[in-house]
């Protein structure tokens, strides 16, 4: 079973009324009794109500159950679409090594393909070294203040079982991704657990923490980019039959391949570089991958980001052009 599916099963068994109560909250929005932006599936306040109610029924101290609030919010936002995104290996490595432009506008993040996406990092060595399977990414709109957050919920190994740890990144007071990462790290680093690379250790400078989180956001940005290369692996959304006729069929996760075409272009560029000769005005090399922000729309006030893959320079006569499937 996929890790996000395991976590979904785990949290729905711990909080059996989550589905029914989430529909109640969504109904309140539909009726106009409550309101929040469409880019947020459910405010975390809904998850708080569910977790606190279950803790009260079971006699569990809320302090003990509080870590489940953000985690359950991620699961509930993921459940309507259940998207699992797997990156081409070479694209993943390229994105992981991208040095993010600190001035990328935060607004480009509001182009996620779903309310909540699960980015699969299984068997990716840098993630394995940190006991990470992958992570959920979703948005929060504070029900009291309307404050905006983007949250990463890390699926990680916890005593041999998958668990979740959620980190919020506040984006209300910031306009650039670099500022968002820095302020989040300044707040979070002293409180991080050992499982996330021991960043609370004073020997690890904050800039290393910023660099680590920028790697996760590099993957998120690709899903938000204007020319993203995403292909659904199956044509139809699959459901799983249940033995109990009164129960609805369970929707299975929907898997996507990310960057199949552009990953091929990266491999082609690398091959061109390895086979390049000498004698050009500038030594043959691969220009580093990076993101570029474009301003579009009336008045050029809407930012979009595009991923520029590694480009061969002074290698042969024909440029290597990445193919993007839409």
Q: Which of 310, 309, 266, 313 is nearest to 285 (CA)?
A: 313
Domain contains 297:
no
Domain contains 206:
yes
Tell me what pLDDT residue 188 has. 67
* 111 in Cβ contact with 137 (< 8 Å): no
Number of independent structural domains in the chain: 1
* 325 in Cβ contact with 229 (< 8 Å): yes
Residue pLDDT, tens place only, 246-264: 455 567 899 999 998 888 8
Q: Which of 143, 17, 111, 133 is nearest to 72 (CA)?
A: 17
Domain contains 292:
no
Tell me what pLDDT residue 182 has. 86
Tell me what pLDDT residue 319 has. 42
Domain contains 208:
yes
Tell me what pLDDT residue 201 has. 46
Tell me what pLDDT residue 193 has. 54
Query: pLDDT below 50 — which residues of the chain?
Result: 197-204, 246, 276-281, 283-286, 313-326
Which residue segment(s) compose the domain that 124 sits in?
82-232
Tell me what pLDDT residue 265 has. 78
Tell me what pLDDT residue 202 has. 46
Domain contains 218:
yes
Domain contains 152:
yes
Residue pLDDT, tens place only, 71-116: 999 999 999 999 999 999 999 999 999 888 888 999 999 999 999 9
* 84 in Cβ contact with 238 (< 8 Å): no
Tell me what pLDDT residue 211 has. 85
Tell me what pLDDT residue 270 has. 67
């Amino acid at each position: 079973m996929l890790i996000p599916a395991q976590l979904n099963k785990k949290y729905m068994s711990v909080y059996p009324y989550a589905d029914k109560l989430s529909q109640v909250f969504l109904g309140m929005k539909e009726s106009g009794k409550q309101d929040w932006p469409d880019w947020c599936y459910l405010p975390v306040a809904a998850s708080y109500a569910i977790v606190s109610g279950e803790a009260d029924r079971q006699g569990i101290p809320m302090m003990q159950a509080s870590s489940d609030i953000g985690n359950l919010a991620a699961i509930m936002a993921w459940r309507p679409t259940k998207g699992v995104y797997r990156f081409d290996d070479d694209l993943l490595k390229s994105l992981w090594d991208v040095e993010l432009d600190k001035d990328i506008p935060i607004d480009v993040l509001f182009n996620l393909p779903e309310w909540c996406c699960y980015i699969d990092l299984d068997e990716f060595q840098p993630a394995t070294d940190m006991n990470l399977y992958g992570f959920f990414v979703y948005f929060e709109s504070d029900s009291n203040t309307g404050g905006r957050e983007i949250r990463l919920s890390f699926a990680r190994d916890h005593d041999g079982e998958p668990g979740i740890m959620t980190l919020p990144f506040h984006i209300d007071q910031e306009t650039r991704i670099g500022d968002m990462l820095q302020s989040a790290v300044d707040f979070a680093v002293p409180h991080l657990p050992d499982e996330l690379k021991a960043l609370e250790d004073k020997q690890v400078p904050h800039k290393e923490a910023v660099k680590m989180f920028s790697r996760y956001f590099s993957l998120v940005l690709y899903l938000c980019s204007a020319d993203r290369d995403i292909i659904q692996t199956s044509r139809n959304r699959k459901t799983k039959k249940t033995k109990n006729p009164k129960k609805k069929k369970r929707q299975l996760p929907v898997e996507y391949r990310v960057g199949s075409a552009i990953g091929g272009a990266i491999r082609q560029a690398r091959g061109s570089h390895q086979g390049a000769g000498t004698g050009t005005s500038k030594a043959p090399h691969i220009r580093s991958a990076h993101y570029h922000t474009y301003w579009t729309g009336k008045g050029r006030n809407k930012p979009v980001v595009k991923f520029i893959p590694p480009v061969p320079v002074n290698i042969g006569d024909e440029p290597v052009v990445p193919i993007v499937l839409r």
